[in-house]
Structure 1
Amino acid sequence: MSLPLYKSIYNDIKEKIVNNIYKVGDKLPSDSELSEHYNVSAITIKKAMDLLKEDSLISRKPRKGTIVISNEIQNHQIQANNSKLPVIGFIITNFDDIFGTDILRNLLIQSQGRAQIIMKITLGDSELEAELLDELVSLGVDGIILLPASSEFISPKLLELVSKNFPLVLIDRQMDKLPTCSVGINNSQAAQLLTEYLFDNGHEKIGIVTATPQVSTIQERIDGVIAAHIKNHKTINQNQILSNLESMIPNSKSTKEDDIEKIKAFLKSSNNITAIFTGEFTIAVLVVQALKELNQEIKKDFSLVCFDHTKYNMLNNQEFTFTHIVQDQYEIGKKALDLILRKIEQPTLIEKNNAPYYLVEGQSVKKI
């Protein structure tokens, strides 16, 4: 594995200092001059300078610049710096047993002996996400794995990092318009698989219930359901889609009770619907509650499918599993780490990887 650019630059300048090409008392070229000389970003130069400062070879002061203060370095220091593991920032909206925990678990397992991980949580707050990106860059991390809070709002900080080829990998968000690396599943194809499963069980009219599509993942799943209808020559109209649930969106004023009322109104006005596609497990649970308040039940009155599933039972004390799509979160974690380490070595690398997914049959679909 080749060294990251900043370490190669660090080694080059260190060698010049040790060999008196840059003598004690000399002022090094400015960061902008070094950036132009090595054809790298200012961030890369700063990280190289930070290592030289850690070795007590240079002093950096505002208005005075970077001064060589020593040309002596112990062998054990050189060895320690050359063997230093890359530090990876991991920013996630949140994690629980439905989605995120297994990604984190395997990321930590896979990183042993390969990288150090610093984890941050945004709770879906785009402004906090921008602050955490800035914080991690200031700490000198070698790269960042990010689950963005939104696909609609892209922070200036994220755009800046992308424009400078800073090592960055997005998970669970494709953001096709951004030239950056990403890892996720093909949500549209997975949604088609779920929808065609309902068709195979005799369901002709399917309702779609999702959160407001503020992330690409949700819209891709809606598009997948529609694509399945087109492929199978079945009609679908806007009256079959409820996509304005907001109680799960951070800082939303809507409550779960508000969303349950929306679902109840949708079900009452949607004649002939026999099955419901929900984009997330948490929304599937809201649908169950809405049906309960309407004195109806899953499978008996409506079939239901969703994405992801908790490992723990949330419906009374009986075992109950929705028919759902499982995302291979272990593989997402592995692919994200492999990709960020490659991106550190190859700053211009752009690669969008898909992880596996599969359908699990539960007890929520009735054959008609």
Structure 2
Amino acid sequence: MKFFPIKIAIICLLITPVFYIVTLELCEKYLNKNYSCQIENILIGDSIHLLDGSVRLEEQIANNIHDFCKADWLIQKAKLDINILVTTIHKKIIYPIFLDVDSLAKDINSDFDSENIAKNNFEILNSGLVVKIETNLSHGSRIGNIVLVLYFGVSFFIFFIFYKIASAKSIVEGETKAQLINDLKREEQVHKQMLKNFQKERHELFENIKVLNKKYQKDKTKAKINEEEMFEEIISLEEKLNSFIELKQKKEMEISELKSKIQKHGKKKNFKLRHNELEFIEKRFSALYKNIKMNRKALSGFLNLSDELQIKAEEIIHLLDRNPDKIIIKRKVFSGKKHRTACFEVLFSYNGRLYFKKNENNITEVLVVGTKKTQTKDIEFIHKL
């Protein structure tokens, strides 16, 4: 019952009569409209006999409707209950014809007057005919029973499909449960075997503990005997360790003093070398480039460049000395706090930066030589000039 499609069963039972009733109503509307069109098309038939008075309009309409009903499949085979009413505009019934005995005898004894019949036919046709169709598809009719059986068959088929699906799920669940029970039984056997093994190991461990305890007692007695000797050895080792620590501290102090002396000597030596390099570069530039004045900041920045950048920077200095018009200036930078003087920035080798200005004697003064990394500090230096 877990997978039984009770909802589907309820839906099928409730929807089937609703669909049955709605279908009957829609079929009645459709059949009324369809038969009205068909009967209106075959109602008059051939009008020649009507206009010459050889046949009455009522008889011809009745014959046409009877022929139509005999040829229609639903009326003959499915026993469709259909009511046909043909009237004039003035509500005179044309079909079905109701004749009493007196009028029938009068028509037989009287002469056949074709002119009056033709005139009567023309007047009826001229006034117009109204066709009303009513089909009866009520509960219990053959078509109604067919529709009901069809909907119940579809509902039963849908319910059968869901029932099969539920049955398959129930079978699968049963098999799964059976498999799970078998697996649990196997695990139970495995756990029982493991429990036996643990009990056996536990017994062996207790035996080992007993053996180790005996050995521990023996070692404990030996340790008590050697304890005094060990204390004496520990004291002697501590004395040696303290003397070693004192010696290490003395050596470390000596090493630090030597390092400080070496650093002072190295700084003096580097300062002398740096000073000599600056003097050499200053003399070299003053000898080679007569129209260029190099700032000490520019000389220091030039020495900090790599060999490749020094070559590119000296190439720019050479152009400033010989062909200053060929220099490509990137931008203008103002120097000085009070008297703002225009300085110019030149790029070399993408990362290199050179700043220069013209002094009062129209001599080019190189203020700073640096790179993109030192650009911020270099511009601050220029602003403070």
Q: Same fold (TM over 0.5)?
A: no
Q: Please identify the structure whose Cα radius of gyration is greater.
A: 2
TM-score range (shorter-chain normalised) is under 0.3
Structure with higher RCO (Cα < 8 A, 6+ apart)? 1
Q: Which has the higher helix share?
A: 2
